Chain A
Amino acid sequence: MAESRANVLDGAPPMVERPQSTDTAGEGAGDRLYYGVLWVLGFFVLVVAGLIVLNLALVSRPLFAVEGVWDFVKGDDWDPVTQKFGALPFIYGTLVTSLVAVVVAVPVAIGLALFITQFAPHKLAPFLSTPVEWLAAIPSVVYGLWGLAVLVPWLRTSVEPFLGRAFGFLPFFKGPPIGFGYLAAGLCLAVMILPTVVSVSAEVMKTTPEAQREAALALGATTWESVTWSVMPHSRAGILGASLLGLGRALGETMAVTMLIGNSRNISISLFAPGYSLPAVIANEFAEATDNIHIGALAACGLILFVITFLLNAAARWLVTAVQKGPARVVT
């Protein structure tokens, strides 16, 4: 007994005397291994990002060896046979269809998000938001199929003739009603980005401080007034972020656009006219492209798309998180 006491006082670690049935010696090593693996997996995300940039640059290099970036962006002639590569019609088509999508989808999305978060009874909310999630679950190619069968004929026979008669003085609504074109692709995109915009907007609206909303209601405001006084001011930046996220999705959307835009390399002001988009040209020509410059030009289209969506998503994330953290920052 006395001996063991002496040991303790001498500073011999008593823990070692305590029998341990596990790999106690390896516990620290286990932590190091586990967190080492996690670290590698986390870092892998950065590697993937690096690989995306690197490979896009590598594949598009043959093009940029023979053509400047600016010439590529502003050139409106694209002919693989004569080795002319100008991406302007595709950039234009991508932007126009995406803008149509955002202009159509955002007001509907705001209304829907307000309806779900503010107007509808709380018990009903999940039954309204679930179908919106289904919209997001439908694959792009199915939307394209639906667009071919429903949207294009409907636009050709009803919508475009009507718009032409009513607003034909505007340059956007001129020309023969073909069905295929910027408008068809844009409307289909609007449906496809709707769930993104709705769910992000609704999330932001839900972070409106309850106190603000109640204060408005306690002052005798109607629900709509509480929306304009407290919910909208709070959510404005977040809704902008949601719209940018939607825009980002629309820009990169491939299948539905490829199937509906008409695949014409002309640039037209009229929304009725067929056009082309960056993803569509990649989808249509990549598998058949044989020479390196053509492949490089298509990869350069991808690179433009990547840069635009990257910047857009970064901005959108920043806006959305700034709103969600916002109130706390104001308090301090």
Chain B
Amino acid sequence: MNALASSAPDSAPAVAAGAAIATPKVEVQKLNVWFAKNHAVKDTSLAVQVHTVLAVIGPSGCGKSTFLRALNRMHDLVPVARVTGKVLVDGQDLYTREVDPVLLRRRVGMVFQRPNPFPTMSIEENVAAGLVLNGISGNHAEVVERSLRKAALWDEVKDRLGHAATSLSGGQQQRLCIARALAIEPEVLLMDEPASALDPIATAKIEELIHELKEHYTIIIVTHSMQQAARVSDHTAFFYMGELVEMGATEQIFTNPKERRTEDYVTGKFG
């Protein structure tokens, strides 16, 4: 079996011993993100429990994507970006010198707004890309099949694994990207508006998939669609102007928000 399986998310410490003392899978403390002088995320703190889905909602430009990208240090790529505060995964801060962002990103996977399969690679190569590009050897065929099954794409592509990834439809491409992220066995999956470029049927499939993936992964999804947040998430965080306004159980946020701004947003008064 794959060596990585021994530390697969399933074997994470049981929470049964008492939810109160359980370390959240992801914990954010006083996170700030600047782009040059633009303060994009302000003093945000929140926690996500293992095997749950957190939806991050808010009007466009509210900093929700910026927040998400801080969770696997994608801002490292932007020279003008500056991040302060802590992001703890399993209790360990990601923003310390010892943490290699490269290794971190193998634990915290990411799916992007637009499907971005590698155009020069086949379907199969795309799924195995994380392994091949990282130089990890082993039984790739098995990983490919498992990941595609998890991403509910196997049946649609099993007969044409060698075809170009770009020959798939948009929805299939996005599920391929999910499979690609799953192949390196992350513990946390970040999704940045994964269905925004897709039609309703493909969107429904992705949402269904998120439900299934929750069993094994901790998922944080940014979405501009409140209905989607309501359908897929356990908890919802509402961002406005770079600030976390309110976070709570999804049902509570949508039916009984505590903050006025949250209520205005979920009832459609702005945004």
Contact = CB atoms under 8 A, between A and B. Distances in A.
Interface residues of A, number: 19
A24 interface: yes
Contact of B135 (A4, A15, A23): A23
Interface stretch (A5-13, A126-134, A303-311): A5-13
Contact of A19 (B4, B90, B100, B102): B4
Nearest to A10: B91
A15 B3 contact: no
B136 A15 contact: no
Interface string A1-38: 10011001101011101111111100110000000000
A131 B32 CA distance: 57
Interface string B107-150: 10000000000000000000000000011111000000000000
Contacts of A23: 135
Given A13-B92, A28-B100, A5 B13 contact: yes
A5 B92 CA distance: 12
B149 to A, nearest CB: 23
B92 A11 contact: yes
Contacts of B6: 19
Interface size on B, as a range, is 20 to 34
B100 A22 contact: no
A18 B23 contact: no
A1 B12 CA distance: 10
Contacts of A21: 3, 135-138
A18 to B, nearest CB: 5
Contacts, number: 49
B90 A14 contact: yes
Contacts of A5: 13
Given A8-B92, A27-B100, A18 B137 contact: no
Secondary structure at the B interface, as helix, strand, loop or mixed, is: loop
A4 B4 CA distance: 17
Contacts of B92: 8, 11, 13-15
Contacts of B13: 1, 4-5
A322 to B, nearest CB: 25
Contact of B99 (A4, A15, A27): A15
A18 B107 contact: yes
Given A5-B13, A22-B134, A27-B100, A15 B107 contact: yes
Contacts of B199: none
A13 B136 CA distance: 22
B91 A8 contact: yes
Interface in B83-103: 90-92, 98-100, 102-103
Contacts of B137: 21
A284 B138 CA distance: 65
A307 B104 CA distance: 52
Contacts of B3: 19, 21
A27 B102 contact: yes
Nearest to A15: B103
B92 to A, nearest CB: 6
B227 interface: no
Contacts of A15: 92, 99-100, 103-104, 107
A13 B99 contact: yes
Contact of B90 (A1, A8, A24): A8
B255 interface: no
A148 B137 CA distance: 65
Given A9-B91, A15-B104, A22-B135, 14 more contacts: A9-B23, A13-B98, A13-B99, A14-B92, A15-B100, A15-B107, A17-B7, A19-B3, A19-B6, A19-B7, A20-B103, A21-B3, A21-B138, A23-B135
The list of the 8 closest CB pairs from A to B, nearest first, reads A22-B135, A19-B3, A21-B136, A8-B91, A15-B103, A18-B7, A14-B90, A27-B102
